[in-house]
Every structure is written in C-alpha cells, then in structure tokens.
Amino acid sequence: MKTNSFSRRDFVRRTTLAAAGVIAAPKMNAFGKAAKRRVAMVGTGHRGTGMWGSPVVKEFADIAEFVGLCDKNPGRVETARKMMNVSCPTFTDFEKMMRETKPDLLIVTTVDATHHEFIIKGMEMGADIITEKPMTTDETKCRAILDAEKRTGRKVTVTFNYRYSPHRQKIYELLRADTIGKITSVDFHWYLDTRHGADYFRRWHRLKENSGSLWVHKASHHFDLLNWWLESEPETVYANAALEHYGKNGPFRGVNCRSCPHKSECKFFFDVTRDKRLTALYVDNEKHDGYLRDGCVFKEDINIYDKMAATIHYANGANVSYSLTTYSPYEGYRIAFNGTKGRIDAWIKESGAMTLEPYDEIMVSHNFGKVEYIKVPQSEGHGGGDAILRDKIFRNPNKPDTYRQSAGSRDGAMAILVGIGARKSVESGQPVRIEDLTGLRPLAVKG
C-alpha cells in the first residue's frame, strides 16, 4: 500500500508554501547574530502561562525573551510573572505595554471575544501576532482582523495545535497519498466528558458573548481539522443544537462549588483549591475581578448549547456529518473518511474507564481488498501537538511545512466561520452560506 509517500508535485508545492501562516524569522543584531525575539503576552491565565509562558522561557531562552505581560487582572498578571520566572514589567493597560516594550511578537491568550482588540491593535502597534484559537467569535470581528492584517502588513498566526499531533498528521498523510481515492464524505463525532466537558459550563465559556458558544470556542478546532484534512473550504452549514443538561436544567444550583449548599449531592462538585496552580491563578485573585473558576454548572445564566450537530458541505463536494456532546462518560472522538476506493476510520480515547493503549490506531479498509491497522505512538500535550507547534513558531520557523500545519488568518477565519454559521443556523433554522458571512469565497482546493 502506498501510504506514506507524497507525489513530487505535492512536496514541492508544500515546501514552497512553508512560510504561509508563519511569522518572520528573527532580525539580526549589530554582530550579525540573530537578535532575541521580543515577546509580549496579553491574557496571562491558564493557557497563556502553561502553553506559552513557562515553556517559551524554558525552551527558547537563547532566542526569545518576554518583555511585557498584560492582563486586566493585576493580581493574575503578577502571579503569572512569578510562575514564568521572568523579570519583565507587568501591565493592565495593553497600549501602554505595547508603547513601552515594543515587542516583535504578541501572544494573545485572552477570553475569545476580546482577541480581535489585541490582534488588531497589536499589529497596528508593530507586532506580528500569535493568537490562540478561536481567532475571534463573530463575522464582523473576523473581517476586521483580515482587513487589519492587509493594512498593516503584519502577520497573524493561529495556533491550531491539533494539526500537529502525530496521529492526525498520519491521517493527513494517508489522505494525500490517495489511499481511499476521492473523499466524498466524513463522519466526525466528538465527545467531551463529565469532567472536561462540564468545565466549559463552570467558566467564562458558559456565555455566548465570551466564547461565541462551543460551536466557536471548541468546535472551531474540529472544523479546522476538517478544512486541513480535506484541503478544501466549507461552503454551507446547517445545524441543530440545544441546552438540555447543564444550566437551567439542573436539579439544584449554587453560585460556585466552594460556597454551594449542595456539595455533597452534586456529582459535578469540583474543589478548585485542591489544584495549587488554579488556586494561585484564580482563587487568590478573585478579589480583583470577582471571577469564579468553580462556577456552578447549573447556573441559570448559561446560554451556550451542550449538544450540537451539523451538516457541512465543502467546496470540493465533500459532505460532513459532525456532532459534539459535552457530558460523555469518556473523552475522545471518532472520525471516518469515506472515499471512492475505501474508508479510513480513526478514534481517540483521551480519558475514561476504557483500556488506554500507548498508541492510537487508524484502520484503512480498501474496497474489495484488505483491512490494515496503523498504530501511532501517543504523546503528551494535545496529542504531542503543543510542543511541536512551539518549536515551529520559535525555533524553526523556516522548516519546510510538509504537512501544511502552519495556520494563518485565512485558516483561522474558515474554522470559526463554520462555527459562527452553525450558531446562526441554529437560531434561524436555515442553512448558512459561509461566503455570506464575510465575503470570503471558499476555495474548492486549498494550496
């Protein structure tokens, strides 16, 4: 079976595109050596400090230095500085940080609905941007980011770490190698468990106005994977969703777990104080902003959906059947690509009472032929993706992008537009054309 070879044409095309979606290489100093990148970060919470803060300090001290940290919570930004073990100044005023520290690179890890403010202002003030997904939460902000990138000539990189896991990369490779012929449809079902899934309903994510709903906050990760695997862009989406389990559906409720009178009977009780890191970041800094990391999953104000299903049609003709569930007994997903020559099945079990193997499998079934199983060793940190992505951004920005994993603003846009379209489709009961959201015309073949 020809599973791991690309055609030469593909390889040349992909390596030529290596720089797409990647920030510029470091500038030279007076001695002809690469100067350290001046890095600033806005949003110094769990992801900011854990994915970018401490690892960048530890892994790339020779080539990058933090020159400023900003958060609207003055206590959290100071906690972050100590956790990261850096001595740079901290700020609660973003523009002051940009003016005084003049970073080359700005990492945006704030609440989703605020990303656009910092992406746009950051570029206007001279920095290239590394933003966490989702790039933003609605189509107007999305268009504004695309326009600002064009206007300023700066670069937005969207950190789609999911693309970098070896298991998903192997699927990409199999699809490109024509293993199952033309891909005609995809079945994609994602399960969040009663621990991680429930956590979205405890935090700021529980409000559409912060997260754009899980259609955008969570599912845009999955839509990006689809866009990448299919090498095509979404044309229409039709969706259904409901809130049937969390929020107002609960049997009782409190404000947050620590103060709740139902602690002993609630299966979702979560003692945030047992986690030292979360306590330092959030509990110890509640006095500054009132944000409760252990909010009640049955709060009446929750307005995001907890079950979602969508049909997505791609510009290359592929149809996708997608669902997201947020209260499963285990966490993971199942995906199947149906092609004219066969089918690829893959599944990931990330948690739960099932036997966890040290590898993930891919099943390749050939029409009228044999079935093969491919085993891909597992790795830590979003399937190993986090570390590879950091390395690509900081250490090896010019490394050939053979699997086209680097993502820029167009990728960021196409991922969220499916989620934004799905949210609108649930509200209107009508299918939504992706092009109608921002004017971006979906390409049948990306590249």
Ligand X SMILES: NC(=O)c1ccc[n+]([C@@H]2O[C@H](COP(=O)([O-])OP(=O)(O)OC[C@H]3O[C@@H](n4cnc5c(N)ncnc54)[C@H](O)[C@@H]3O)[C@@H](O)[C@H]2O)c1
- For residues 251 and 271, what is the distance between their CA atoms, to the nearest angstrom? 20
3-state class of 318 per DSSP?
coil
Q: What one-character-per-residue DSSP string does 368-387 give?
A: TS-EEEEEEE--SSTTTHHH
Query: Does position 71 bind ligand X by CB under 6 A?
Result: yes
- The β-bridge relationship of strands 307-314 and 342-349 is unpaired
Q: What are the CA-CA distances from residue 397 to residues 101, 118, 162, 386, 392 (Å)?
A: 23, 23, 18, 15, 5
Query: Does position 383 bind ligand X by CB under 6 A?
Result: no
Name, in order, each residue with C-beta under 8 angstroms of 389's C-beta and a sequence gap of 6 or more. 159, 160, 161, 164, 405
**Closest by Cα among 107, 55, 54 to 85:** 54
Single out the residue of 41, 84, 97, 111 in contact with ligand X (rule: CB under 6 A): 111
Single out the residue of 110, 316, 323, 425 in contact with ligand X (rule: CB under 6 A): 110
Single out the residue of 21, 45, 68, 397 in contact with ligand X (rule: CB under 6 A): 45
Q: What one-character-per-residue DSSP string does 395-429 give?
A: I-TTS--TT----BHHHHHHHHHHHHHHHHHHHHS
Please, what is the minimum distance in Å from the beta carbon of residue 231 to ligand X?
22
Query: Does position 331 bind ligand X by CB under 6 A?
Result: no
Mark the segment that binds ligand X (CB under 6 A) among 40-48, 53-61, 250-258, 416-424: 40-48
Query: Does position 36 bind ligand X by CB under 6 A?
Result: no
Q: Which CB, 109 or 232, lies closer to ligand X? A: 109
Task: Give, as ranges, the residues between 207 and 236 that touch ligand X (CB under 6 A).
Answer: 217
Query: Does position 304 bind ligand X by CB under 6 A?
Result: no
Mark the segment that binds ligand X (CB under 6 A) among 33-41, 72-80, 354-362, 390-398: 72-80
Q: Which CB, 43 or 397, lies closer to ligand X? A: 43
Q: Which CB, 47 or 341, lies closer to ligand X? A: 47
Q: What backbone torsions phi and psi does residue 115 show, to the nearest 5 degrees?
A: -50, -45
Q: Which CB, 343 or 423, lies closer to ligand X? A: 423
Single out the residue of 21, 26, 48, 247 in contact with ligand X (rule: CB under 6 A): 48
**Considering CB under 6 A, how many residues would be counted as binding ligand X?**
24
Cα dihedral 85, 86, 91, 94 in deg (nearest 10): -110
Please, what is the minimum distance in Å from the beta carbon of residue 131 to ligand X?
8
Q: Which CB, 72 or 155, lies closer to ligand X? A: 72
Please, what is the minimum distance in Å from the beta carbon of residue 56 to ligand X?
15
What does R_g of the chain's alpha carbons equal in angstroms? 22
Q: Find the residue with minimal CB distance to ligand X.
A: 45
- For residues 415 and 120, what is the distance between their CA atoms, to the nearest angstrom? 19
- For residues 417 and 423, what is the distance between their CA atoms, to the nearest angstrom? 10
Please, what is the minimum distance in Å from the beta carbon of residue 97 to ligand X?
10
Please, what is the minimum distance in Å from the beta carbon of residue 109 to ligand X?
4
Mark the segment that binds ligand X (CB under 6 A) among 14-22, 67-75, 370-378, 394-402: 67-75
- Angle of helix 139-152 relative to helix 115-124, nearest 10 degrees, comes to 10
- For residues 98 and 67, what is the distance between their CA atoms, to the nearest angstrom? 10
Query: Does position 47 bind ligand X by CB under 6 A?
Result: yes
Mark the segment that binds ligand X (CB under 6 A) among 27-35, 71-79, 308-316, 422-430: 71-79
**Closest by Cα among 232, 208, 197 to 423:** 208
Query: Does position 76 bind ligand X by CB under 6 A?
Result: yes
Name, in order, each residue with C-beta under 8 angstroms of 355's C-beta and a sequence gap of 6 or more. none
Name, in order, each residue with C-beta under 8 angstroms of 293's C-beta and a sequence gap of 6 or more. 202, 203, 272, 278, 281, 282, 283
Binding mask 130-169 for ligand X (x = CB under 6 A): --xx-------------------------x-x--------
Interface positions with ligand X (CB under 6 A): 42-48, 70-73, 76, 109-112, 114, 132-133, 159, 161, 204, 217, 382
